[in-house]
Structure 1
Amino acid sequence: MTLVHRKTQRLMAALPIASLGVVAAVDLLTGPDLGYLSLLAVGPAFASLVGGVRRTVVIGVVALALSLLLALYNGLFGDRQSNMILISITGVTAASILATVGRQRRERELASVRSVAEVAQRVLLRPVPRRAGHLVAAVSYTSANAEARIGGDLYEVVTGPGGVRAIVGDVQGKGLEAVETAALVLGAFREAAHDEPDLRAVSGRLEKALNRRLSGEEFVTAILVEADSGGKLTLLNYGHPPPLILYANGAMTLAEPVETAPPLGLAVLEVEGPDPHQVAFGPGDQILLYTDGVIEARDRAGRFYPLPDRAFLLKNENPEAALEALRLDLVAHVDAPLHDDAAMLLLRCREPAGPPA
């Protein structure tokens, strides 16, 4: 729970008692002519926003007791106005109790669904191997704030006969459906990465799997990478943010595709996939794959996270430490809970590539 959320909870918890105190004070100062006693019903109404049934009942009883005491003080006890005020407070208290019961039931259901989704996501996004062929891999996943629904960010690294293949993607939407779609993509990728001769064939398997499930405007943005034994990277970008490549000589570039391509799962558009984009990738070079939760993270002034300007944080010799430094810098930039999950996968060439095992 964040500091802001805790402060909000404390403020809402104090609101019922504060409202009763304010109404009682105003009534004592102005006298019975203006009829402020009926406003005591706001106490139990506010109490239904946070806390349990017992607290709502206690606030309602306090409101009734205050109403009786102030009616005695004002000389209104037993008359029609006083009786109507008591009935109003009792009715509002009963309605607030019912509202509290409903709210608690919804909170339990939401917590249960969120827990299931989080467990499913943790099982789905298993740790990537630290060493994959001639590459070293590190991964970082930063969840959005507690109020946001579970997202569909995905990543995987597979070592196959032809080299190392990796994917980073983002499923449109949130919740269990997004997690289910991410599981479908990862399952198809893990199988195809071992069987297919090239990335286009791998992506074709992903398209088939998605088109059997998705409909309408649902889609998955993704980037597929293959690092072969000859010191070369092959990239296929399906509507995903371009990866950041940092060379051992200090140069840096965003691997923008020559032509844009639609995301996976949109076979209804009848558009061919992207052409493979190849770049050199030698010892000491590294590539950062990420989801849009990274570059779309805003600070309090609304400025996006400047990823290329922060690439120097990836110079640490330990890829995991480098990626953690970048993650902490991202969190510090936002200075608040993220509004979208942020996944990052760092691949670094650790030695000259030899013949495949």
Structure 2
Amino acid sequence: MIRIKAGVSCGRAALVRRRCGSGYRRRRRLAGRQPLRRVLSLALPTAWGATAITYKLVCPLAQQNGLGARIVTSAVFFAVGTGLMLHVRRALQRELRVAREVAWAAQSVLLRPLPQRIDGLRVAAAQLSADRGATVGGDLYEVIATEHGVRVVMGDVRGHGIAALGTVAAVLGSFREAVHDEAELGSVLRRLERALGRHLGERARAGHPSAGLSAVLDPDSPVAEEFVTVLLLEIRGDGEMRAFNCGHPSPYLLSGGRVEVLTAGEPLPPLGPFPLPAELSAEHCGQLLPGESLLLHTDGVEDARDAHGRFFSLPTVLADAVRTQPVSPQAVLGAVLSRLSRHAGGSPTDDVALLVLRNDRHHIPQQQEPPVAHQVT
């Protein structure tokens, strides 16, 4: 049954009915083809097997013990085995292609591609999963323009790969809704904490239905060890920045060829193991002036090691990248990823997420207080 909303024209309603009807008919056709596809998938192995059995039972050459007969028999069974292996290989390739399509679809919804410009800010982002074959992992990021300013989240879920996707979905879903509803950044952080708590509670109940909430509070429970580091940032129209840092690496401020660590006061513990304080007040981080950039990252970047066990020097790479002015977010991102890939010898051992924001706004009022930043030597 199709219900037509008020204000929808009859022509549009007819179009909806036609589309729904065609989709239903297409699903019925595909469902009807499934048994036929199963039969066809078994036809080739059955034919190869029948060929081998027929040769062995009927062909007079197969009954002989001479060298020539043995060579021919070996060739026949080799051909049969090769055909079966190629058939299995094609079937596995089809399944892998479908799995990759599903993974890309999940990535487009979970970590959707960010636009190049958001409310006067140029944006570039990238994410790499440590799991081979996975396109998404345990890192998360999002940038959303709201009436309260541009709000940014960068997070890192304990663990990586497919197992962390549920937690990433819970945190990102809560952030995308809360940033529009909550005027205070601290209220957004509390919404993230509650969403994470609900998600972990559901996981605990799924693993131990009789345990309920006690499974989350039990220190020996695997769910009790889960946590998420979060950097929550707000950039207002005048460039003023406010932030909460819950156990996450501090971002880097790229200004005039300099690379500085942008601090947001005393960091809070990661979300999950400990509750947030009763009073939350966002830390002022100064202003992001026109032409200046911020780089947010997860600890998988600076924890990457080379073959000799040396850590990746992100400040050095950033210092090289900002020598060319003006600084392009895409260029900074590309420089970091290429150097990181060479340093780690290919794929990283931990999930990696990078987010670069550059202020392209033309006019910002004069800042009232200096930014809290420390230059990296």
State the TM-score, normalized to the length of structure 2: 0.60
Change (3 A) 1:295 1:210: same
Aligned 8 A contact 1:281 1:349 in 2:
no
Change (3 A) 1:314 1:248: closer
The answer as to 2:339 corresponding to 1:329 is yes
What residue in structure 2 maps to residue 349 of structure 1?
A: 359
Change (3 A) 1:129 1:108: closer
- Return the letter of the residue paired with 1:353: I
What residue in structure 2 maps to residue 154 of structure 1?
A: 140
Aligned length: 277
Q: Deviations over 1:296-341 (max 9, x none)?
A: 1111111111111211214553221221122111112222221222
The answer as to 2:110 corresponding to 1:128 is no
RMSD: 4.1
Q: Deviations over 1:206-248 (max 9, x none)?
A: 1111111114322211111101123321111111111112223
The answer as to 2:288 corresponding to 1:282 is yes
The answer as to 2:173 corresponding to 1:187 is yes
Aligned 8 A contact 2:129 2:135 in 1:
no
What residue in structure 1 maps to residue 245 of structure 2?
A: 237
- Return the letter of the residue paired with 1:352: H
What is the Cα deviation at residue 102 of structure 1? 11
| SS of residue in 2 equivalent to 1:252 | strand
1:340 aligns with one of 350, 353, 371: 350
Aligned 8 A contact 2:245 2:267 in 1:
no
Change (3 A) 1:112 1:129: closer
Q: 1:308-323 residue pairs with structure 2 within 5 A?
A: 308-312=315-319, 313-315=321-323, 316-317=325-326, 318-323=328-333
Q: Deviations over 1:64-111 (max 9, x none)?
A: xxxxxxxxxxxxxxxxxxxxxxxxxxxxxxxxxxxxx99999999888
- Return the letter of the residue paired with 1:213: H
Q: Deviations over 1:245-271 (max 9, x none)?
A: 222373522426424423x2x2x6334
Distance in 1 (CA, whole Å) between partners of 2:292 and 2:121 is: 10
Unaligned ranges ≥5, structure 1: 1-52, 54-100
- Return the letter of the residue paired with 1:340: D
| SS of residue in 2 equivalent to 1:213 | helix
Q: Deviations over 1:41-62 (max 9, x none)?
A: xxxxxxxxxxxx9xxxxxxxxx
Q: Deviations over 1:194-215 (max 9, x none)?
A: 1211211111111111111114
Aligned 8 A contact 2:129 2:161 in 1:
no
Distance in 2 (CA, whole Å) between partners of 1:245 and 1:290 is: 12
State the TM-score, normalized to the length of structure 1: 0.63
- Return the letter of the residue paired with 1:322: V
What is the Cα deviation at residue 115 of structure 1? 5.8
| SS of residue in 1 equivalent to 2:199 | coil
Q: Deviations over 1:117-172 (max 9, x none)?
A: 45412431112122222322111223336267952211110001121111111122
| SS of residue in 2 equivalent to 1:180 | helix
Change (3 A) 1:259 1:340: closer
- Return the letter of the residue paired with 1:282: L
What is the Cα deviation at residue 187 of structure 1? 1.5
Q: 1:282-301 residue pairs with structure 2 within 5 A?
A: 282-283=288-289, 284-301=291-308
What is the Cα deviation at residue 112 of structure 1? 6.4
Unaligned ranges ≥5, structure 2: 1-44, 46-86, 202-222, 366-377
Distance in 1 (CA, whole Å) between partners of 2:318 and 2:136 is: 28
- Return the letter of the residue paired with 2:302: I
- Return the letter of the residue paired with 1:332: R
Change (3 A) 1:187 1:149: closer
- Return the letter of the residue paired with 1:202: V
Distance in 2 (CA, whole Å) between partners of 1:116 and 1:303 is: 36
- Return the letter of the residue paired with 2:331: A
Aligned 8 A contact 1:242 1:257 in 2:
no
Distance in 2 (CA, whole Å) between partners of 1:175 and 1:279 is: 33
- Return the letter of the residue paired with 2:288: G
Aligned 8 A contact 1:314 1:326 in 2:
no
Distance in 2 (CA, whole Å) between partners of 1:176 and 1:222 is: 19
What residue in structure 2 maps to residue 164 of structure 1?
A: 150
Aligned 8 A contact 2:137 2:164 in 1:
yes
Distance in 2 (CA, whole Å) between partners of 1:208 and 1:158 is: 20
Aligned 8 A contact 1:152 1:174 in 2:
yes
What residue in structure 2 maps to residue 203 of structure 1?
A: 189
What residue in structure 2 maps to residue 269 of structure 1?
A: 274
Aligned 8 A contact 2:127 2:352 in 1:
yes
What is the Cα deviation at residue 191 of structure 1? 1.1
Aligned 8 A contact 1:293 1:340 in 2:
yes
